[in-house]
Amino acid sequence: QQQVKQSPQSLIVQKGGISIINCAYENTAFDYFPWYQQFPGKGPALLIAIRPDVSEKKEGRFTISFNKSAKQFSLHIMDSQPGDSATYFCAASMVAAAGNKLTFGGGTRVLVKP
């Protein structure tokens, strides 16, 4: 059962443009929503995360928008740079639960063209 659905699977954006990745979840008990960035041959690295009590969080060029009623959240990468070319994963978890596993989306491969 895929509890976190991510789209699109791939994305091509020009340098300076905006990359937008969307995720939808099913389990309303999720209370922590991180985004990870993964480069080839490396493990996922935490980029930014949000809790459901806020609707938006911004860190530098990265912004998470969260819509609790729609059970959706998205990552916006502003002023995209070639160095942002990577695979991005959304995830969700129940922090207070024993064995608070991360449930990942399928990933979005982003290519930023110079």
Partner 1 sequence: ETGVTQSPTHLIKTRGQQVTLRCSSQSGHNTVSWYQQALGQGPQFIFQYYREEENGRGNFPPRFSGLQFPNYSSELNVNALELDDSALYLCASSLDNGVYTFGSGTRLTVV
Instruction: Give the binding site for partner 1 (CB under 8 A).
Output: 6, 32, 34, 36, 41-46, 49, 89, 91, 93, 95, 97-107
Q: What's the closest the beta carbon of residue 14 comes to partner 1, in angstroms? A: 25
Cα gap 45→42, rounded to integer Å:
9
Contact predicate 81/20, CB 8 Å: no
Three-class HEC string of 48-91: EEECCCCCEEEECCEEEEEECCCCEEEEEECCCCHHHCEEEEEE
Q: What's the closest the beta carbon of residue 94 comes to partner 1, in angstroms? A: 8
Report the residue number, 12 or 45, with the smaller CB distance to partner 1: 45
Report the residue number, 19 or 93, with the smaller CB distance to partner 1: 93
Q: Could you identify the residue written with the tokens 């789209």?
A: 7
Q: What's the closest the beta carbon of residue 31 comes to partner 1, in angstroms? A: 8
Q: What's the closest the beta carbon of residue 99 comes to partner 1, in angstroms? A: 2
Report the residue number, 17 or 106, with the smaller CB distance to partner 1: 106
